[in-house]
């Protein structure tokens, strides 16, 4: 066979290949050509591949039409441009109020300054795409050209679909890390950081991190995992990691702890759900002197000991919190600390003080009972029909005995003692911390991690990122970063709306539409004229912590 686009080279005694790979965009029908370079990763001891977009395929001739190189002079011009307003060349009337709001949020949060320092040549393009993603709810980037003609935005010009792909590919990892470092240092000692992971599905077969894993949304597509850090008090995200789709929550935490050191984060405080719990992770958090609050399972030995001892005391009025409608106690425990030291070939052991918080929620107990009844019924139905599911195999044997006799056939008998034992812990849950001593302080802090779940929802729904629609690693990295920037702005607005009680009268979209209606009129030789700003709009700006626009 003849491979006209495949080349073989020899490097360091390993056979490597350069080739061209073709991929069709399902939305546009355009086929793109990528230069594929295989190389040997010394650290991971496996072959990997790099891809570079080289052009698109002419549907009639089949030839590759080269892409135009991204205009780097834009970067230089943005750095060397003289200060002052851009001269007005045309008569135009554009919407201004919502993008003005985002400009001000960028200065309040430091995002504008940090992006400019990290991406001096393209930060305005990044911001314009982020603004579009927020204001054009769930619309694809192909509509940016239409949107930008009617809106004032930082870049002030069109970013065509092909240019946006090149923009995504132009963002380098070192520049993203610079941005994360700058953002993290603004809040590092002021708040706890909530950390969680979600999965994002993909149709692409060309992305090396797209794997089949435990999809939390029961989606059958392969996926990548996205880990997010949110500030508990500010409600703002400031760091993310892109992970292979088959990576579990437990293993990802140790990598995160290592990256804290790389970014210069010290005295970190993290809030984690119980999916991140393992003895190794707790030891790693102690070792790196990082404060934590984490959910723990009731079946752990040290948790069972405290719960069995305090079960009766827990449900007394003096341990009840009226606002949370929950009973809670806290007990100091000694954590059995271990640190393996490979360089000395030994294990350092000792005791570390920790606080175990145990809670009882009567409403949760009732819900647990209903959910368990439904679950046991579904187990029995599986056994009756002979359709056992792999992920339930342990529970079939735990809660039921199945026997077969020649006369009566199959007989399914519930194991009552196992069911009673499970019911003893309905309504109970536990948290572990090495800093927070009061139980309801811990509960309030732990519940704040819901901001991460809401952030995931905003990414997937509002910012249209439920499915990845990119065909190269570089494009994916860049698009995730721009989506992340948009999420910062969106989270700021939602947090301010919540603090000011605006959700009682406004939806997020309704508020943005109200501000977006403010116009800016421009005419050569006459200047700029701001449209009318109503008192209602002025009040909204004030509630969002921003001064109303003026010229």
- Let me know: does 532 contact 514? Beta carbons within 8 Å: no
The two tokens of residue 234 are: 């500010």
> What does the alpha-carbon distance between residue 475 and residue 202 come to, in Å, rounded to a whole number?
13
Which residues lie below 8 Å from residue 402, measured CB to CB, with a gap of 6+?
Answer: 383, 396, 410, 411, 412, 413
pLDDT for 37 equals 75
> What does the alpha-carbon distance between residue 106 and residue 113 come to, in Å, rounded to a whole number?
8
Q: What is the layout of strands, in order, in the sheet containing 527-530?
A: 92-95, 519-523, 527-530
Nearest to 132 by CA among 168, 166, 104, 102: 102
- Residue 407's Cβ-count burial label (10 Å; 0-12, 13-18, 19+) is exposed
> What does the alpha-carbon distance between residue 58 and residue 164 come to, in Å, rounded to a whole number?
20
pLDDT for 80 equals 46
| Angle ∠(467,470,471) on CA atoms, nearest 5 | 130
Q: What are phi and psi of 440, to 5 degrees?
A: -80, -20
- Let me know: does 194 contact 223? Beta carbons within 8 Å: no
Q: What are phi and psi of 386, to 5 degrees?
A: 75, 25
Q: What are phi and psi of 525, to 5 degrees?
A: 70, 0
> What does the alpha-carbon distance between residue 402 and residue 503 come to, in Å, rounded to a whole number?
54
For the beta carbon of residue 255, count every other beta carbon within 10 angstroms. 12
| Angle ∠(355,356,362) on CA atoms, nearest 5 | 140
**DSSP character at residue 153:** -
Lookup result for tokens 């210069």:
264
The two tokens of residue 238 are: 């400031």
Which residues lie below 8 Å from residue 318, measured CB to CB, with a gap of 6+?
Answer: none
> What does the alpha-carbon distance between residue 524 and residue 325 come to, in Å, rounded to a whole number?
64
pLDDT for 72 equals 44
Half-sphere exposure at residue 191, Cβ-oriented, CA atoms within 13 angstroms: 21
pLDDT one digit per residue (tens) for the chain, 551 residues: 333 443 333 333 333 445 677 777 665 667 877 777 777 666 666 666 777 777 777 777 777 777 655 444 444 444 444 455 666 767 889 999 999 999 999 999 999 999 999 999 999 999 999 999 999 877 778 889 999 999 999 999 998 877 787 888 888 889 999 998 888 888 766 678 888 887 765 544 544 545 454 555 445 556 677 888 888 888 888 888 877 644 566 667 777 777 777 777 767 788 998 888 999 999 989 988 889 999 999 999 999 999 999 998 899 999 999 989 999 999 999 999 999 888 888 899 999 999 999 999 999 999 999 999 999 999 999 999 989 998 899 999 999 999 988 877 889 999 999 999 999 999 999 999 999 999 999 999 898 878 777 777 777 777 766 555 555 667 778 888 998 999 999 999 999 999 999 999 999 999 999 999 999 998 887 788 999 999 999 999 999 999 999 87
Q: Which residues pair with residue 351 across a beta bridge?
A: 336
Which residues lie below 8 Å from residue 475, measured CB to CB, with a gap of 6+?
Answer: 53, 165, 168, 169
Q: What is the layout of strands, in order, in the sheet containing 14-24?
A: 6-11, 14-24, 31-41, 46-57, 64-66
Which residues lie below 8 Å from residue 482, measured CB to CB, with a gap of 6+?
Answer: 126, 129, 130, 133, 168
Lookup result for tokens 């393009």:
125
The radius of gyration of the chain's CA atoms, rounded to the nearest angstrom, is: 28
Q: Give the end-to-end CA distance of the chain in Å, rounded to a whole number.
A: 69
- Let me know: does 192 contact 271? Beta carbons within 8 Å: yes
Q: Which residues pair with residue 444 across a beta bridge?
A: none
Which residues lie below 8 Å from residue 263, measured CB to CB, with a gap of 6+?
Answer: 177, 180, 181, 184, 239
Q: Domain spans of the chain?
A: 6-66, 363-423
> What does the alpha-carbon distance between residue 323 and residue 320 come to, in Å, rounded to a whole number?
9
Which residues lie below 8 Å from residue 466, measured CB to CB, with a gap of 6+?
Answer: 200, 201, 460
> What does the alpha-carbon distance between residue 8 and residue 2 come to, in Å, rounded to a whole number?
13
> What does the alpha-carbon distance between residue 25 and residue 175 come to, in Å, rounded to a whole number?
28
Which residues lie below 8 Å from residue 108, measured CB to CB, with a gap of 6+?
Answer: 492, 545, 546
pTM value > 0.85: no
- Let me know: does 98 contact 516? Beta carbons within 8 Å: yes
Q: How far is CA 189 from CA 49, 107, 239, 444, in A?
A: 40, 21, 15, 19
């Amino acid at each position: 066979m003849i491979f006209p686009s495949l080349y073989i080279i020899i490097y360091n005694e390993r056979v490597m290949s350069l080739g061209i790979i073709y991929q069709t965009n399902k939305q546009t029908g355009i086929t793109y050509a990528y230069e594929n370079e295989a190389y040997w990763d010394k650290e991971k001891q496996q072959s990997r591949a790099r891809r570079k977009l080289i052009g698109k395929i002419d549907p009639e001739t089949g030839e590759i039409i080269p892409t135009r190189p991204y205009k780097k002079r834009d970067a230089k011009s943005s750095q060397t441009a003289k200060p002052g307003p851009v001269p007005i060349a045309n008569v135009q009337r554009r919407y201004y109020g919502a993008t003005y709001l985002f400009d001000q949020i960028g200065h309040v949060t430091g995002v504008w300054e940090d992006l400019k320092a990290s991406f001096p040549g393209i930060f305005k393009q990044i911001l314009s795409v982020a603004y579009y993603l927020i204001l054009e709810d769930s619309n694809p980037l192909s509509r940016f050209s239409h949107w930008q003609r009617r809106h004032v935005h930082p870049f002030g010009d069109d970013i065509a679909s092909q240019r946006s792909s090149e923009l995504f590919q132009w963002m380098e990892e070192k520049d993203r890390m610079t941005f994360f470092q700058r953002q993290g240092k603004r809040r590092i000692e002021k708040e706890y950081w909530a950390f969680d992971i979600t999965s994002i599905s993909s149709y692409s077969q060309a992305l090396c991190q797209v794997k089949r894993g435990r999809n939390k949304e029961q989606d059958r597509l392969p996926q990548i995992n996205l880990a997010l850090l949110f500030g508990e008090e500010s409600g703002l995200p400031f760091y993310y990691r892109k992970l292979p789709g088959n990576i579990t929550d437990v293993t990802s935490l140790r990598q995160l702890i290592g990256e804290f050191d790389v970014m210069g984060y010290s005295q970190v405080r993290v809030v984690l759900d119980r999916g991140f719990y393992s003895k190794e992770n707790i030891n790693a958090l102690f070792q790196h002197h990082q404060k934590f609050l984490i959910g723990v399972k009731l079946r752990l030995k040290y948790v069972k000991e405290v719960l069995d001892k305090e079960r009766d005391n827990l449900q007394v009025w003096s341990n009840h919190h009226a606002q949370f409608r929950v009973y809670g106690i806290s007990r100091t425990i000694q954590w059995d600390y271990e640190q393996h030291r490979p360089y000395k070939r030994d294990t350092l052991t000792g005791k570390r003080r920790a606080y175990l918080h145990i809670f009882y929620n009567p409403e949760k107990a009732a819900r647990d009972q209903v959910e368990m009844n439904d679950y046991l019924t579904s187990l029995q139905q599986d056994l009756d029909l002979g359709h056992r599911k792999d992920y339930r195999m342990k529970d079939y044997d735990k809660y039921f005995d199945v026997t077969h006799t020649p006369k009566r056939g199959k007989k399914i008998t519930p194991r009552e003692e196992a069911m009673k034992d499970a019911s003893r812990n309905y309504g109970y849950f536990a948290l572990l911390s090495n800093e927070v001593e009061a139980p309801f302080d811990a509960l309030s802090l732990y519940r704040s991690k819901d901001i991460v779940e809401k952030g995931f929802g905003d990414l997937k729904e509002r910012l249209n990122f439920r499915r990845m629609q990119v065909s190269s690693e570089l494009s994916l990295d860049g698009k995730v970063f721009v989506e992340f920037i948009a999420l910062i702005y969106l989270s700021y607005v939602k947090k301010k709306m919540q603090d000011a009680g605006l959700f009682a009268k406004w939806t997020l979209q309704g508020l943005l539409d109200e501000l977006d209606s403010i116009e800016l009129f421009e005419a050569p030789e006459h200047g700029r004229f701001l449209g009318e700003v109503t008192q209602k709009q002025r009040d909204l700006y004030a509630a969002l912590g921003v001064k109303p626009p003026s010229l």
